[in-house]
Amino acid sequence: MLSKKESRLETLEEYIIQNQNRFPGATGELSQLLRDIGLAAKIISREVNKAGITNILGFDGSTNIHGEAVKKLDLFADQQLISALDRSLITCMVISEENDGIVRMSSKNGKYIVYLDPLDGSSNIDVNVSIGSIFSVYMREPRYDSALRESDALQPGVRQVAAGYVLYGSSTILAYTTGLGVSLFTLDPSIGEFILSDRMIKMPDYGNIYSINEGSYNSWDLGLKQYIKYCQEEDQESGRPYSARYIGSMVADIHRTLIKGGIFIYPHSNRYPNGKLRLMYECNPLSFIIEQAGGMATDGEKRIMELEPTKIHQQTPIYIGSKKNVEDVMKFLKEYKSVPQE
């Protein structure tokens, strides 16, 4: 939390500008991009908070690239974020969960590429459970020709220049990083501004909460089954049994993990042999946040942000959270990798 010395209200815009001034020669374009996302987040937050009385709940009748039914609020969030990013003419393309291919923006010479999950956890929209937006920003590689190609967007997570999420819950919280730590901002609806609530947040090295959809237990690898049994065993010295918490909105589960520590897991399974969560606009940006706060993210073998993408909608398993918790699960996965299932 902020100290008394730091207790003066500082808005997201002020914070972004102050950090930009730390870099000689900074052009301000990335700062503008982050402010654009903040503006879109305010509009989405407003609609989320009054969704039940504006006929924006429910399905719109279409499906997205993943075959999932699209909610009306999904499309609204997608439109608001893309529109906000297009206005400042510094983004050349957007890749969104709600669009099959790349979305070309008005400025083909824009230097940034942005990945979006406009409304993560949309299955929770109609039951008033926390949902969120996720964003990931890359620099476009310079080329002699200015034609936009999907391959321009296929960059590993280590090349992100910024990433973050917005959580629409009991309050609206924006978290972002540019590789210099993680800062949290809370939306004050009375003045319509995101206010700095925590700078340079550090997550615990260890936590006693695990988050996974245990309904898929029978389709997991043996190593993961053994790890979950380990989490459930009583051992006062090591703080077990752990508490199980699973919201079903990745942003909400990751935000809790960031604050309280522990681990979030979405593994591969019989139904999703390559995992279900999307590498580029879910796992990479949230891994960037968690790593910048002192945590760890892996696909079970490799660091998430070092995976080389081959598709913009690529899927991956993920084990993400406090460093010690992730290291523990990796030991189980390795130990039981060659052991046949019972």
78 is in an annotated binding site: no
Q: How far is CA 28 from CA 17, 209, 280, 324, in A?
A: 8, 40, 25, 38
Q: Average of pLDDT values for 252-277?
A: 95
Q: Average of pLDDT values for 6-26?
A: 76
pLDDT, residue 5, reads 46
Amino acid occupying residue 133? S
DSSP letter for 196, please. Answer: E
6 is in an annotated binding site: no
Q: How far is CA 1 from CA 55, 183, 200, 251, 268, in A?
A: 38, 11, 10, 21, 36
233 is in an annotated binding site: no
Q: How far is CA 70 from CA 75, 99, 194, in A?
A: 7, 11, 29
Distance, in Å, from the CA atom of 336 to the CA atom of 284, rounded to the nearest integer, reads: 27
Q: Are strands 131-139 and 160-168 parallel, antiparallel or unpaired?
A: antiparallel
pLDDT, residue 26, reads 60
Task: Give the CA dihedral 245, 65, 269, 118, nearest 10 degrees.
Answer: -20
213 is in an annotated binding site: yes
Cα-Cα-Cα-Cα dihedral sign, residues 207, 208, 210, 211 = negative
DSSP letter for 299, please. Answer: S
282 is in an annotated binding site: yes
**204: region left, alpha or beta (phi > 0 left; psi from -120 to 50 alpha):** beta
**Contact partners, residue 288, CB within 8 Å, separation at least 6:** 136, 157, 160, 163, 177, 179, 305
Element (H, E) at 163: strand 160-168
49 is in an annotated binding site: no
121 is in an annotated binding site: yes
Distance, in Å, from the CA atom of 165 to the CA atom of 177, rounded to the nearest integer, reads: 10
With residues binned 3-state (H G I as helix, E B as strand, rest as coil), the percentages for the chain, rounded to 5, are 35, 25, 40
Cα-Cα-Cα-Cα dihedral sign, residues 86, 27, 43, 65 = positive
pLDDT, residue 221, reads 94
pTM for this entry: 0.91
Helical H segments across 114-247, by residue range: 222-232
Element (H, E) at 18: helix 12-20
Q: How far is CA 109 from CA 81, 83, 113, 140, 143, in A?
A: 19, 17, 11, 9, 11
Most confident range, picked from 32-36, 100-104, 261-265:
261-265
Q: Average of pLDDT values for 59-65?
A: 54
What domains lie within the chain, and their CATH numbers? 4-198 (3.30.540.10), 209-335 (3.40.190.80)
pLDDT, residue 59, reads 53
154 is in an annotated binding site: no
Distance, in Å, from the CA atom of 275 to the CA atom of 341, rounded to the nearest integer, reads: 19
Task: Give the CA dihedral 38, 43, 46, 49, nearest 10 degrees.
Answer: -80
- What are the tens digits of pLDDT across the range 96-154? 998 888 999 998 889 999 999 999 987 787 788 899 999 999 999 876 566 788 999 99
**Contact partners, residue 147, CB within 8 Å, separation at least 6:** 108
- What are the tens digits of pLDDT across the range 320-341? 999 999 999 999 999 998 776 6
276 is in an annotated binding site: yes
Residue 65: band (very low, low, confident or very high) from pLDDT cuts 50, 70, 90: low
pLDDT, residue 142, reads 77
